Amino acid sequence: MARLILVSGSGGAGKTAVAAGTGLAASRQGIRTGIVSFGLSQGLGSTFGHEEPLFPAARGQPVRINEHLDILELDVQEELRRGWSHGRGTLAALLGDGLENASADEVAIAPGVEELVTLLRLGELLQEQRYELLIVDCPSTEGALRLISSASALGWYSRRQSSPERRARSGMLTARRSREPGALQEARDRLAAVDELLRDPAVTTLRLVATAGKASVQETLRAYAYFSLHGITTDCVFINRLVARKKGAQEPYVEKLRSALGELPVVKVPLHSSEVVGEELLEAFMAQLYEGKEPVRPMVSHPPLGFSKEAVDAYRLELKLPLTTKDDIDISRREEELVVRVGAVRRNILLPRMMALLPTAGAHMEGDRLIVSFQKERGR
């Protein structure tokens, strides 16, 4: 199975350069690597020194950088045109009714479609096994959070839409809807497969990019907590664009990150004298990022979420929630799901069958981990 590395961080921190440098470092080791970007602010081609039109007519096709490295800048409309068939198929099943006569261009503007298209395309790339490593250059921490939460959120929505109660309220199924369950199940299966890989630390890790400033440090710390809530393993933080003559002003923010992140690797990267564009400068940049270390291997491998059996009819869920206290966390139960909220971010965790049959017995914090117990009530 291919490795996935997500690269995200605050605006202007140098995420694309880190993604490009990581991909170039992997390709130099003979690893078949693809770098995928999505969003409007795509600049992978420019980072590698490619001349591009200001407003390209079409994107979405792999561009060869060297023998072992391709870049792929996703274009939502192009992806929809490629896979859209009169409003039917995987995307139509996920997005619901009313799309029979919609065009790909019309569907492309719907909220959430960009993340959905990206997830499905990632699933295709993984299934094709063309690459040993896929790096996703995310547009921002917010964009990356939307991406990794979309698979589970759409799966939840699909389950609700296909429930017997919902169908009963909807009335008689039309001929079109009677065929929907097959397409819907296929879509759910494809998203579930990608969702599982995103939350497997042996497959997927996240690398955050920050600068030594108040706003960037705060965003990075929040991102670390939010991604952990969603089950994503962060394995490194790069503090980019450090300036020796500004050490007195920047060092307190570096130390704040190091102190808050504990054992999580923090790498300091000095500011280059010029913009990191072209393979020659990327070579020097990647040397600073990894200093001879393995760029592909996960630097941290502890899963953020785990289930375990404590005794007969007694189980527990363990979720890593760094930088949080019990006052920051809100927990509720919704039948087979546990809903955990930290700040403005919520995650619906689908419980294993044996745990879903048991009532919630309590919750507490052990260090940076939330422990939720499930136990059969006495006398029952």
Q: Which of 49-58, 158-167, 281-290, 345-354 has the highest average model confidence (pLDDT)? A: 281-290
Q: Which of 263, 290, 317 is the last residue of a domain?
A: 290
Within a domain: 325: yes
Q: Which two tokens stand for residue 225?
A: 């907590």
Q: Which two tokens stand for residue 133?
A: 């490593």
Report pLDDT digits (tens) over 55-114. 565 567 889 999 999 999 888 777 777 665 544 456 666 665 555 555 555 555 565 678
Q: Is 266 found in the same domain as 130?
A: yes
The total of structural domains in the chain comes to 2
Report pLDDT digits (tens) over 220-239. 999 999 999 999 999 999 99
Confidence of residue 303 (pLDDT cuts 50, 70, 90): confident
What CATH number is given to the structural domain containing 309?
Answer: 2.60.40.790
Q: Is 244 found in the same domain as 172?
A: yes
Please check whether residue 239 is in contact with residue 267, taking contact to mean a CB–CB distance below 8 angstroms: yes
pLDDT of residue 7: 97
Within a domain: 296: no
For residue 294, give the 3-state DSSP assignment: coil
Q: Is 80 found in the same domain as 37?
A: yes
Q: Which of 165-174, 304-313, 318-327 has the highest average model confidence (pLDDT)? A: 318-327
Please check whether residue 17 is in contact with residue 49, taking contact to mean a CB–CB distance below 8 angstroms: no
Range(s) of the domain holding residue 317: 305-375
Q: Is 322 found in the same domain as 236?
A: no
Within a domain: 298: no
How many distinct helices (H) and strands (E) make up the chain? 14, 15
Is the model's pLDDT at 172 over the cut of 50? no
Is the model's pLDDT at 246 over the cut of 60? yes
Radius of gyration of the chain (CA): 22
Please check whether residue 44 is in contact with residue 16, taking contact to mean a CB–CB distance below 8 angstroms: yes
Within a domain: 299: no
Within a domain: 140: yes
Q: Is 367 found in the same domain as 256?
A: no
For residue 337, give the 3-state DSSP assignment: strand
Q: Is 326 found in the same domain as 241?
A: no
Confidence of residue 206 (pLDDT cuts 50, 70, 90): very high
Q: Which of 150-164, 293-307, 324-338 has the highest average model confidence (pLDDT)? A: 324-338
Q: Which amino acid is located at 187 in the chain?
A: A
